[in-house]
């Protein structure tokens, strides 16, 4: 049987100042702002989507930026580090680039035989860049980062949990994941075990719950091909006792949500239709796009949003 889930679709974080958020992800990291819309559940807040040139599933880091939000804290029941994939020769490029923009970077670490660096955005969001030669994706080929150094998309995510048994059962029995290996208390799972599908569980030693606010991840979404496969996933999860939402229309994909046993909010999102449904590929992210139901209120919605600019020239 074809797998219903094929890796990570997107990861969504809470952020502070929207302009700082764009400066960091579009400017410093060189991801393409592929969509500028609103939080469909809270229309006074932006929803930014950053990804490769089309915002393909597996590349899209999204944020809800709240001006003046206080910082959250990392803890158990959270996705604490989002890892992006870079080419095996790009680590020095990124160390230099991050230092140039005042981002303090960890020493080079080694994990499962691959080298990586770790740092935080202006809100304290945990990010890793993992150098590897196992990723055929191209990233954004014509952004301000040279194509050979551009971020390819996600490598994976680290879940910080008090215990792993129930989450492991969910991933491996109901979500098409398999156990890949363990290293220094890090338990690795993947669908194929390639960049874009990796989920690591690290057991939390403190037991302190994280506090969700700016600089923390709100949820992780996993990929499924289409609405038919999504309904199959929903049925499997509900049969196994998970409280799964109804299908929600997010315009660029359809979504279902449920809480995994360790406390992290999981989503399953469709690969279809993608970000080019309401904007030309050449102009993705340039205008504030609203779902049809919000369009009558565009004037009021835009008046409540802080204007932002995509000043990528400053980060060339
Ligand atoms: Zn989502």
Instruction: Give pLDDT tens digits for 207-259.
Output: 788 888 999 999 999 999 999 999 999 999 999 999 999 999 999 999 999 99
Is residue 2 a part of any domain in this protein?
A: no
Is residue 101 a part of any domain in this protein?
A: yes
136 alpha carbon – ligand 1 mean position (Å): 25
Is residue 227 a part of any domain in this protein?
A: yes
How much is the pLDDT for 140? 93
CB atoms near residue 119 (< 10 Å): 18
Is residue 147 a part of any domain in this protein?
A: yes
How many structural domains compose the chain?
1
- Which residues, in sequence order, are bridge partners of residue 190? 178
Secondary structure of 209-266 as H, E, C letters: ECECCECEEEEEEEEECCHHHHHHHHHHHHHCCCCCCCCEECCCCEEEEEECCCCCEE
74 alpha carbon – ligand 1 mean position (Å): 20
Confidence of residue 85 (pLDDT cuts 50, 70, 90): very high
Is residue 89 a part of any domain in this protein?
A: yes
**56: three-class secondary structure by DSSP:** coil
288 alpha carbon – ligand 1 mean position (Å): 18
Is residue 257 a part of any domain in this protein?
A: yes
How much is the pLDDT for 311? 85
How much is the pLDDT for 205? 77
125 alpha carbon – ligand 1 mean position (Å): 17
Confidence of residue 22 (pLDDT cuts 50, 70, 90): very high
pLDDT of 309 over the 80 cut = yes
Which has the minimum average pLDDT: 18-27, 56-65, 302-311? 302-311
How much is the pLDDT for 58? 98
219 alpha carbon – ligand 1 mean position (Å): 6
Is residue 13 a part of any domain in this protein?
A: yes
CA distances from 172 to 9, 45, 86, 165, 189 (A): 18, 35, 27, 10, 8
Structural domain of residue 12, as residue ranges?
8-315
CATH number, domain with residue 253? 3.10.180.10
Confidence of residue 113 (pLDDT cuts 50, 70, 90): very high
How much is the pLDDT for 7? 98
β pairing state of 265-270 and 42-51 = unpaired
Beta strands of 88-148 (E only): which ranges? 109-111, 114-120, 126-132
Q: How many residues does the chain have?
A: 316
How much is the pLDDT for 76? 92
Is residue 282 a part of any domain in this protein?
A: yes
pLDDT of 1 over the 80 cut = no
Stretch (H or E) spanning 99? helix 91-100
50 alpha carbon – ligand 1 mean position (Å): 13
């Amino acid at each position: 049987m074809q797998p219903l889930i094929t890796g990570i679709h997107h990861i969504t974080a809470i952020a502070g100042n929207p302009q700082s958020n764009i400066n960091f992800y579009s400017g410093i990291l060189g991801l393409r702002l592929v969509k500028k819309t609103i939080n469909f559940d809270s229309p006074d807040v932006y929803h930014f989507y950053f990804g490769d040139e089309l915002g393909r599933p597996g590349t899209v880091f999204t944020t809800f930026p709240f001006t003046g939000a206080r910082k959250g804290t990392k803890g158990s029941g959270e996705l604490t580090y989002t890892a992006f994939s870079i080419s095996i020769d790009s680590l020095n490029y990124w160390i230099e680039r991050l230092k140039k923009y005042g981002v303090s970077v960890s020493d080079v670490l080694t994990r499962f035989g691959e080298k990586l660096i770790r740092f935080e955005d202006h809100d304290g969001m945990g990010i890793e860049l993992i150098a590897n030669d196992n990723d055929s994706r191209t990233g954004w080929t014509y952004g301000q980062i040279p194509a050979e150094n551009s971020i390819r998309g996600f490598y994976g995510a680290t879940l910080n949990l008090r215990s792993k048994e129930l989450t492991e059962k969910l991933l491996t029995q109901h979500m098409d994941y398999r156990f890949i290996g363990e290293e220094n208390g890090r338990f690795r799972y993947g669908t194929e075990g390639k960049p874009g599908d990796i989920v690591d569980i690290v057991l939390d030693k403190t037991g302190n719950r994280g506090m969700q606010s700016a600089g923390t991840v709100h949820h992780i979404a996993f990929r499924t091909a289409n609405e038919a496969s999504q309904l199959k996933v929903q049925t499997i999860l509900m049969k196994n006792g998970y409280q799964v939402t109804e299908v929600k229309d997010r315009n660029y994909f359809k979504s279902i949500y449920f809480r995994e046993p360790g406390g992290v909010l999981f989503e399953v999102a469709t690969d279809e239709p993608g970000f080019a449904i309401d904007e030309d590929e050449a102009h993705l992210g340039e205008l504030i796009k609203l779902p049809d139901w919000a369009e009558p209120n565009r004037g009021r919605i835009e008046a409540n949003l802080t204007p932002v600019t995509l000043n990528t020239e400053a980060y060339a």
